[in-house]
Amino acid sequence: MSGAVSRRALLFALGGVGLLAGCGDDHATWHSAGDIPGDSHEGDSASPDVTDSASPLVVPPANKPTAGVCPPPPGVVQKSGGPQYSLPCHGTNIALTVDDGPDPTYTPRMLDLLAQQGIRATFCMIGRSAAAHPDLVKRVLDGGHHIANHTFSHPLNIAKMAAGAVHAEMAKATDAIAKASGGNYRPALFRSPGGAWSSTVLGQCGNLGLRPLDWSVDPRDWSRPGVQHIVTTILTKTHPGSIILEHDGGGNREQTLTALGIVLPRLRDAGYTFAQP
């Protein structure tokens, strides 16, 4: 199968349906659709900073989890061998993923916040940043968090790159993370920059034993849309099985940290349980 497929073609796993163990060879080329949660993120320069000083923060109630019910996002279609967009449905499970670090300014604060809330997340790390900050790689692992491979240099055109270049980005990132961890950890998950997937990217996941991981709730915090936007998006879009996308690297993450300080306790109070993909 070839040609672009809308990012509305999300994976939904319900009940005992197992999540994908790897990547196969029969895949479509998937690109982001900008009108739904989970579209591509291109770095801090893509959008101006938006502050929240113009109006008071309004915190909507979080969606309450319903035991045994994991509603998929609109238009969800499961693709065999494709990226994981949802957790298996156990009624209350959700996941937090944190991209583009580690960052010496924001990753320690993110870790402090998660420790305060008793939440374990999955940090999708850029290899060159992991190599530059091995202390933070170790601290993430010491906190009980998982680390995913997010390429070595975060190329946003990865879906158009040749197989050799894609392989090099993935393999180099895995090696950098493993070395930074002291040789004790090698990622099992891969998140493609911008959520850009192709048959080549997925094929290289399979070649390297990496399981492709995407997301289902994207408040576009990378663009600094304002704390209000981040808070509202997460609390109104999160349902059982959701995988939430946030960032600790790639620019100023003050809004992200402020918003998570609000939404994480509210999600827990609503009855959600944080799990790892």
Residues 72-82 pLDDT 10s? 655 555 577 79
The one catalytic residue in 41, 100, 247, 248 is: 247
Residues 6+ apart with CB under 8 A from 155: 161, 169, 193
**At residue 15, does pLDDT exceed 60?**
no
- Flag whether 126 is in a domain: yes
Cβ neighbour number for residue 252 with a 10 Å cutoff: 11
What would the mean pLDDT of 84-105 be, rounded to a whole number?
91
Higher pLDDT, 128 or 28: 128
Find the CATH number of the domain harbouring 142: 3.20.20.370
What would the mean pLDDT of 153-181 be, rounded to a whole number?
98
Q: What's the gap between Cα 148 and its chain centre? A: 9
The answer to whether 35 is a known catalytic residue is no
- Flag whether 113 is in a domain: yes
- Flag whether 175 is in a domain: yes
- Flag whether 88 is in a domain: yes
What would the mean pLDDT of 19-47 be, rounded to a whole number?
38
Higher pLDDT, 98 or 63: 98
The answer to whether 247 is a known catalytic residue is yes
What would the mean pLDDT of 60-75 be, rounded to a whole number?
73
- Flag whether 204 is in a domain: yes
Domain count, the chain: 1
Residues 6+ apart with CB under 8 A from 210: 22, 23, 149, 170, 174, 187, 188, 189, 190
- Flag whether 75 is in a domain: no
Q: Which domain holds residue 94?
A: 80-275
The one catalytic residue in 41, 44, 99, 145 is: 99
pLDDT band at 35 (very low <50, low <70, confident <90, very high): very low
What would the mean pLDDT of 1-15 be, rounded to a whole number?
33
Q: What is the pLDDT of residues 107-120, one digit of tens each?
A: 999 999 999 999 99
- Flag whether 35 is in a domain: no
Mean pLDDT of the chain: 83
**Weakest mean pLDDT among 12-26, 42-56, 70-84, 181-195:** 12-26
- DSSP for the chain reads --SEE-TT------TTPPPP-S--S---EE---TTSTT-----GGGS----STTS----PPPPPPBTTB-PPPTT----TT--B-B----SSEEEEEEEEE--TTTHHHHHHHHHHHT---EEEE-HHHHHH-HHHHHHHHHTT-EEEE--SS--TTGGGS-HHHHHHHHHHHHHHHHHHTTSS----EE--GGG-B-HHHHHHHHHHT-EEB--SB---GGG---HHHHHHHHHHH--TTBEEEEESSSS--HHHHHHHHHHHHHHHHHT-EEE--
- Flag whether 244 is in a domain: yes
Phi, psi of 220 (to 5 degrees): 55, 45
Q: Full-prediction pTM beyond 0.85?
A: no
What would the mean pLDDT of 20-38 be, rounded to a whole number?
34
